[in-house]
Amino acid sequence: MRKIVECVPNISEGRNQAIIDACADAVRKVKGVKLLDVDPGKSTNRTVFTFVGDPESVVEGAFQFAKTAFELIDMNQHKGEHPRMGAVDVCPFVPVANVTVEECIDCAKKYGERVGKELGIPVYLYEEASTNPARKMLKQIRSGEYEGIKDKIYKPEWKPDFGPQEFLPKSGATVTGVRFFLIAYNINILGTKEQAHRIALNIREQGRSADEPGRLKDVKAIGWFVEEYNMAQVSMNLDNFRVTPPHVAFEECLKDAKEINIAVAGSELVGLIPLEAMLKAADYYMAKENLFIIDEKQKIRLVIERMGLSSIAQFIPEKRIIEYMLDDEVQEPLANMSVRDFVELVGARTSAPGGGSVSALAASLGAGLGAMMGWMSYGSKKFEHLDSKMRKFIPPLHIAMKELISMIDADTNAFNDYMLAMRLPKNTDEEKKIRNQKMQEGLKKAVEVPLKVMRTADGCWEWMNELAKVGNASSASDLEVGAKCLETGIWGAFKNVKINLPQIEDAEYKSKVVKEGEEILDRALKALKKIEKVIASRV
């Protein structure tokens, strides 16, 4: 699945549009990155940029952005209300989807190292990327601001993590690190400012005092009245949506509002939100109301309705959910092709897409046909007695189908790391050692992709077999075709696993992979025969 990192760099310039545009253009030119927002402030003389992409692309985008900003901004001339310490004041990396905090820390360090080495700028690490308690919070590092750096930077305890221990009047210093995704979220209250603030005090982590903390972790909140809306609001910053997601904050406010006999009139999302947060909310409401919804767009619609996200302005998923703003055609070009174009490309004079991508496609079709039989057995009066079973059988097949679709492109991209390693220098013994190590890592990655296809397809057999026993018999042949597609996808993926193994030097790894692959293939052959036998007994 696609890895998405958000980068939110701030520059000490909010008035010169030419400089702001140049920094934005530097990001736009980087492949694999999408610029989502540019927010200049004239009084603060500061601009916040937001862009997203895969880890490698985001680091490149951040570096090109910083290079442009440091070239064009002169801190000697800067005046503004917002605290700042350099031309690029802070450059945080934020995990959004399918990436860990550790991966984002790696992004921050790679970015910091390049800025320090190639641009000669002092760089400090903060938040999750810093291991120094005295230099973990941004306000600690930024203390004294730009004007204080000229004395502070020469102290031993303030030696930068990257770059020179030197005061640069034009550029200042910069900070990079990792923070969690912050969601700005307001809940509408048909009451007074005081009532909204009372609820805010109940829920925010700080609460009313140290002796009377609030109920929700990683939440900041206040109550205010918005004349434009003629409503009060509980205005919140959710500092870590994985700890306290928006739907939990909404339900807690709803509970408190009922206790003091005031109405909640929906809510308002300010800015963007990760898809994960929306799907968590969908899972909550589906469980609460015993709903069965598989289609992602319907899940999003459910959340919009239950949380009243369109109460102030229409909530348009394509403009508010980060993943929906990205270009799928760029991220998964093969999976987004027409059937005709994909097949013709497979048959063209090119090595990719090849057997690996076709195997992933075959397996995804197998899982899809299994899900199809489930749907043909669900939701009609004739098969109403099967509904509870279909609610159990359909989801894992649907999820496997979606995962396998993404592997169509993943297989074609699997050799990228190996090919990059091949281009590394090999003039010295140390360079040869590093090159060989990276090549071996690349080969293992090339093996792991088709192996993941096998594992994902292998997880479908239990549900396919259950469907064979009780599913709508009119779809029996579809299920048989699906089972054969699954088996074929597994067989083909194993061929792609084995063809890359001889070049891998790790004998233990090779033995382990072959053993697992043979076991999955053996289960596939047996499962196919079992399903064919069950279907034959019913038809």
* Spatial distance between the Cα atoms of 272 and 320, rounded to a whole number of angstroms: 5
Query: Length of the chain, please?
Result: 539
* Spatial distance between the Cα atoms of 529 and 357, rounded to a whole number of angstroms: 25
Non-local CB neighbours of 247 within 8 Å, separated by 6+ positions: 280, 281, 284, 285, 303, 306, 307
Secondary structure E strands in 68-190 = 88-97, 123-127, 174-178, 183-190
**Token pair in block for residue 514:** 């072959």
The 3-state DSSP class for residue 239 equals coil
* Spatial distance between the Cα atoms of 27 and 431, rounded to a whole number of angstroms: 32
**Token pair in block for residue 347:** 């048959």
**Token pair in block for residue 456:** 């994902």
Q: Is position 411 annotated as part of the catalytic site? A: yes
Element (H, E) at 152: helix 145-152
List helix spans (H) across 414-506. 416-422, 429-458, 461-470, 476-500
* Spatial distance between the Cα atoms of 487 and 528, rounded to a whole number of angstroms: 7
The 3-state DSSP class for residue 347 equals coil
* Spatial distance between the Cα atoms of 498 and 507, rounded to a whole number of angstroms: 13
Active-site residue (options: 39, 82, 106, 478): 82
Spatial contact of 351 and 419, defined as CB atoms under 8 Å apart = no
Spatial contact of 33 and 322, defined as CB atoms under 8 Å apart = no
Q: Is position 82 annotated as part of the catalytic site? A: yes
By annotation, the residues acting in catalysis are 82, 411
